Structure 1
Amino acid sequence: MTEFNEKTNRENTRAVKYEFREKLFERNDVLPMWVADMDLPAPQAIQDAIMSRAEHNIYGYTTHDDALLSTIQNWLAKRYQYDVNTDLISFSPGVIPALHALVEAFTEEGDQIVIQPPVYPPFFSVVESHDRTIVENPLVYENNTYRMNFDQLEEQFKQGAKAFILCSPHNPVGRVWTESELKQLADLCVSYNVYLFSDEIHSDIIFSGHQHLPVADLNENISALTFTMMAPSKTFNIAGLQASFTISPDEESKKTLDQQLMKQGAVMLNTIAYTAMEAAYQHGEPWLEDLIKHLEGNYAYLQEQLKPTKVKPVKAEGTYLIWLDFSETGLNHEEIKRKLNHEAKVGLNDGQSFSKEHGDQFMRINIACPREMVEDAVERLVSTFG
């Protein structure tokens, strides 16, 4: 069993989560529970692989090989029974660079692209920065969870949407979409010939009782429209190494994507990124299973301790990011922020960054940390908002 409750000091390591505290929260003494990386050491096997590679002491241009492709293929087959043709895998420094490339390569200026707020903030900018038109299909919040509004989505597809960006599992609301939901979405994309850009970066972190299904694996029809983006970065806490991959529907689409990635300068990953990715997928599964148990424990603690308060965690089914509902406090957005920053001194992701309209009274907390940090954060929230 991996030990996840030992605290690791990240001060003076140039960690964004710590270095940006004053800029984001107006003070340096907040407990940082925001950006989506973990305050937990990565698997030992990754460190060992990096140290072994570093001993070579030449860090020139590096590429992937069949061994790495097979490692990815085996991981997806084991975790999701997803049989991937390795000839369709492209690498990029992250999911967002890949999304930029997909938007640029497969849509035109002015095209409508549908997103589902409240959602990962770069989904907005990745559409707007290329002069495409954002179409919002807001998730419906009811009974402490979220669902898709398929009726509205179909109308938006009828109006000529060119692409749809799926967040699966969903960040920040924690939904792990069911097979039924994904099939309904897939059928709409196929019916109206809408590209599906599927961000599945959190797919490995799924709570008990739920299962991640790669949407491209549902049937051949949706597979022909889907680009699936995945990475070991969130799973194994190696986001700073910048390594992800995209699975294209066919060789011609992959060629188009690769050409666009080349235009962006994203031709290859760095030496250490390839090493870490291979080690993660070859040796990281036992660590991941222990991590999920740890996260489930942190989430259960958060739920239980906040019950008496007016701060309600939205039901989470996966990821380590929990969406907190502050609506019962009766406070407006700025009042919630002020109390969090200057009374509780807990640094959370601002709900409005995920949607000004649908995140106004919400904040996102990151529970991928030792239990002691969760306990500290909860104690501060209870004393401030109890």
Structure 2
Amino acid sequence: MTYNFSDVINRENTRAAKFEYRETLFGRSDVLPLWVADMDFESVPELEEALIKRAKHNLYGYTTFDDDILQSIKNWLSSRHNFEIDTSLLSFSPGVIPSLHALVQIFTEENDQIVIQPPVYPPFFSVIKAHNRELVENPLVNRNGHYEMDFDHLEETFKNGAKAFILCSPHNPVGRVWNNDELEKLADLCVKYNVWLFSDDIHADIVFDGYEHTPISTLNDEIAKLTFTLMAPSKTFNIAGLQASYVISPNEDLKKKVNEQLMRQGFSSLNTFAFTAMETVYNHGADWLDALIRQLEENKQLIDEKLAGTKISAVDTEGTYLVWLDFSKTGLDHDEIKRKLNDEAKVGLNDGKSFGDQGETFMRINIASPKQVIEEGIDRIIKVFG
């Protein structure tokens, strides 16, 4: 089947956050929005039909999951990631961040240290601070546009008493798909110092050719006992607005604690359309996803070709549809970079500093749009920055 990733779909007047928040975030409504992590592509064709079919029932009472939904998740993780799960250990949640809030509250106490690896997804900072935990940074090391973990420093943070570590795998925003050697080193440290591992694998499915995502809990039994894996079809299939995710706990006792905390947060079940969407995309979305990844690879190649010879560069990207742009060679400070993007290029990107101090001269661009939209955005940036 052929999928269309080239048509520009008008998202104006659909209450799309990507467009509605332009004035608030960028000070103007005429910027080309290439920021928030959703796509400008239609989702899996079978999903539209499935949602319409469900809507025709026209009754929207409380909904629960069944074996068919559980099996769709099990089959997907097995076929895409060689991840063989026990579906009895699944807990459903509206999103990865609500799940992280729950895990932080269950497995750490006030003033406990939790480690993250900036530059990283901004809610990682707030989910720690919101519960009066101590945020400890283990910054990634940028080696000529290729980011790596600093394991020596990480071990020091664990020695100093860290209780938990939040892993972003694949990493947002630097696009790393951590290889097995890196994950094994991380796992060994977590086991050695008995550190809980909360692994945000929401971008697991979007991995470029030549790379492979490995859920860290699959490495060995020791790390599996410490790991909570957080996954969702939302980024993969552009259904974030339907709010469907899940946590895979190490055992039944720990799963019970997760469920109890989610209940205390006021959550009991996914909405009707979330369950329908999850089952549909996992059962019918494999070919669509393969085609999407090819389009994303083309968009990243286009960016690299366009930026060659300029003072701006894109770091190595191995997965996700989020690209970390380096403006350091322009010689401009953060505020001036941001001003020129907003007011001169009129392109809306994610502010690099929101990912940590390491993002002072960086910006994040979302490349999940038709090729001509990405080209226009990059051309605007090059025209302004030279």
- TM-score, normalised to structure 2's length? 0.99
What amino acid is the match of 1:16?
A: A
String of CA shifts for 1:220-243, please: whole Å, max 9, x gaps: 000000000000000000000000
Please say if 1:273 is aligned against 2:274.
yes
Q: CA deviation at 1:308?
A: 1.9
Please say if 1:79 is aligned against 2:94.
no
1:3 aligns with 4
1:177 aligns with 178
2:300 aligns with 299
SS in 1 for 2:358: coil
2:68 aligns with 67
String of CA shifts for 1:159-196, please: whole Å, max 9, x gaps: 11000000000000000000000000000000000000
Please say if 1:242 is aligned against 2:236.
no
String of CA shifts for 1:204-261, please: whole Å, max 9, x gaps: 0000010000000100000000000000000000000000000000000000000000
Distance in 1 (CA, whole Å) between partners of 2:303 and 2:148 is 23
SS in 2 for 1:206: coil
Distance in 1 (CA, whole Å) between partners of 2:50 and 2:218 is 32
2:58 aligns with 57
Distance in 1 (CA, whole Å) between partners of 2:183 and 2:116 is 15
SS in 1 for 2:92: strand
2:359 aligns with 359
2:203 aligns with 202
String of CA shifts for 1:35-90, please: whole Å, max 9, x gaps: 00001111111111111110100010001111111110010000111110000000
Distance in 2 (CA, whole Å) between partners of 1:118 and 1:143 is 15
Distance in 2 (CA, whole Å) between partners of 1:385 and 1:280 is 41
2:31 aligns with 30
Distance in 2 (CA, whole Å) between partners of 1:265 and 1:217 is 31
Please say if 1:120 is aligned against 2:116.
no
What amino acid is the match of 2:384?
A: T
Distance in 1 (CA, whole Å) between partners of 2:208 and 2:147 is 16
Identity of aligned residues (%): 62
Runs of 4+ residues over 2 Å off in structure 1: none
2:213 aligns with 212
What amino acid is the match of 2:129?
A: E
Please say if 1:319 is aligned against 2:314.
no
Distance in 2 (CA, whole Å) between partners of 1:294 and 1:222 is 35
String of CA shifts for 1:97-136, please: whole Å, max 9, x gaps: 0000000011111110000000000000000000100000
What amino acid is the match of 2:370?
A: P
Q: CA deviation at 1:309?
A: 1.2
Q: CA deviation at 1:3?
A: 1.2
List alignment gaps of at least 5 residues for structure 2.
none
SS in 2 for 1:358: helix
Q: CA deviation at 1:362?
A: 0.2
What amino acid is the match of 1:241?
A: L
Distance in 2 (CA, whole Å) between partners of 1:385 and 1:276 is 42
Distance in 2 (CA, whole Å) between partners of 1:131 and 1:342 is 38
1:20 aligns with 21
Distance in 2 (CA, whole Å) between partners of 1:207 and 1:262 is 37
Q: CA deviation at 1:158?
A: 0.5
Q: 1:106-185 alignment to 2 at 5 Å?
A: 106-185=107-186
Please say if 1:100 is aligned against 2:104.
no
2:222 aligns with 221
What amino acid is the match of 2:22?
A: R
Distance in 2 (CA, whole Å) between partners of 1:273 and 1:47 is 13
List alignment gaps of at least 5 residues for structure 1.
none
Q: CA deviation at 1:330?
A: 0.2
What amino acid is the match of 2:367?
A: I
Distance in 2 (CA, whole Å) between partners of 1:297 and 1:145 is 20
Distance in 1 (CA, whole Å) between partners of 2:76 and 2:233 is 11
SS in 2 for 1:196: strand
Distance in 2 (CA, whole Å) between partners of 1:160 and 1:66 is 41
Q: CA deviation at 1:379?
A: 0.9
Root mean square deviation of aligned Cα: 0.5
1:377 aligns with 377
SS in 2 for 1:60: coil
Aligned residues: 385
Distance in 2 (CA, whole Å) between partners of 1:228 and 1:191 is 19
- TM-score, normalised to structure 1's length? 0.99
SS in 1 for 2:142: strand
Q: CA deviation at 1:372?
A: 1.0
